Amino acid sequence: MTPKTRLTLGRASVFMLVLSLLVGACQSASLPDSDAGDGVTTSEGLPSASSEARASTTTSTSTTSSTTTTTIPTPEPIPIAPPQGMELVWNDEFDGDAIDPENWTYDLGGWGWGNGEAQYYTDRPENARVQNGLLVIELRQEKFENSYYTSARLKTQGLHAFQYGRIESRIRVPKGIGTWPAFWMLGDKFDRDAVDPTNSNWPNVGEIDIMEYVGREPDLVVGTLHGPGYAGAGGLTRWNRQGYDIADDFHTFAIEWDSSGIRWLYDDEIYYDLGRDAVGNREWVFDQPFFIIVNLALGGTLGGTIGLDTEFPIYLHVDYVRVYQPVAGAGG
């Protein structure tokens, strides 16, 4: 990677520190000490990447800012290998020169996204681009509109949506206290009031968090399901701890989803198996198409207080996103 700029305590940085502390004051400072146990559990103080799911109609404003060149080598390729009885129906290997507009669009804006997040999402190449066969999302410390950080959130909304199958991505998450990357899905009927962005039809449309990660818990990834009556801190969650820092390498994050339920996988190992009966007498809203989202947030209800020693810029690298579904007539 290119050299990063370390925060220093000059007058401008003191101002940034005060701002970060104010943002973090209302955020959870740490996750509970223990993993969720076997069986269906709620998140108990662990809100999801969308304590309120979100989509803004704000238009980004360009600034004079140079694009950083990342130097991370492309990882050893993983061949496309459909699970038994499935076929590849959609993918992006990020092998071109630019982000494919037929696959991805952007959420734009910096209003906190329902979670008190610090970043302003843009569609600039400074924040999202393709390099070395990877999608690069760059989180920058810079003044932009009403924010002091910029990043990107890409989505397939309005372009591609999927019901059932295996949805998989190979990702290298970033280091840094306060970072909050996610790979997730929202029901394709998701809609937000253009005048009042806090008014939406979430969680009734459903949300599947395939992967959430926070820099202050470097050995932990989280999978969560949100729907009517089981959302936010009450989402159905499973923690998956490892014996190493997850940000040290690329890992695959996936779900296998059918009419009976959803299973979460980390590096091809199932760590959470949630059947539709887990919601009890509440509505199961996962028999409909969902679109895909990948983003890198900072701070907020799950990201927590931004670390004083967090170095910028920060990168999220995505090797591919693939969707497999059952072969027509093959059953399953």
- Identify the pLDDT of residue 34: 33
| Tokens 């969707």 found at | 323
Rounded Cα distance, 31 and 268, in Å? 25
User: Could you tell me the pTM of the whole model?
Assistant: 0.82
Scanning 11-155, the segments in alpha helix (DSSP H) are: 11-24
Closest CA to 237 of 52, 37, 53, 54: 37
Helix (H, G, I), strand (E, B) or coil at 15: helix
State residue 16's pLDDT score: 46
Both ends of the chain: CA-CA distance in Å?
43
Cα separation, 269 vs 20, whole angstroms: 37
Query: How far apart, in Å, are the Cα atoms of 281 and each of 93, 108, 169, 284?
Result: 40, 36, 32, 9
What are the Cα distances from residue 106, in Å, to 29, 154, 199, 257?
A: 29, 5, 19, 25
CA–centroid distance for 304 within its chain: 15
What are the structure tokens assigned to 74, written together? 């492309």
Write down the catalytic residue from 117, 126, 138, 212: 212
Strand-pair category, 147-151 with 120-121: parallel
Whether residue 256 lies in the annotated active site = no
**pLDDT per residue as tens, the chain (332 positions):** 433 333 333 444 434 444 444 444 444 444 433 333 333 333 333 444 443 333 333 333 334 455 565 567 889 999 999 999 999 999 999 999 999 999 999 999 998 988 999 999 999 999 999 999 999 999 999 999 989 999 999 999 999 999 999 999 999 999 999 999 999 999 999 998 888 878 899 999 999 999 999 999 999 999 999 999 999 999 999 999 999 999 999 999 999 999 999 999 999 999 999 999 999 999 999 999 999 999 999 999 999 999 999 999 999 999 999 999 999 876 54
Catalytic residue, chosen from 52, 117, 168, 207, is 207
Is 207 among the catalytic positions?
A: yes
Taken in order of first residue, the domains within the chain and their CATH numbers are 11-28+41-63+86-326 (2.60.120.200)
Cβ atoms of 299 and 180 closer than 8 Å:
yes
Kindly report the three-state secondary structure assignment for every residue of 234-245: HCEEEEEECCCC
Beta carbons of 232 and 47 less than 8 angstroms apart: yes
Tokens of 63: 């600034």
**What is the model's pLDDT at position 331?**
55
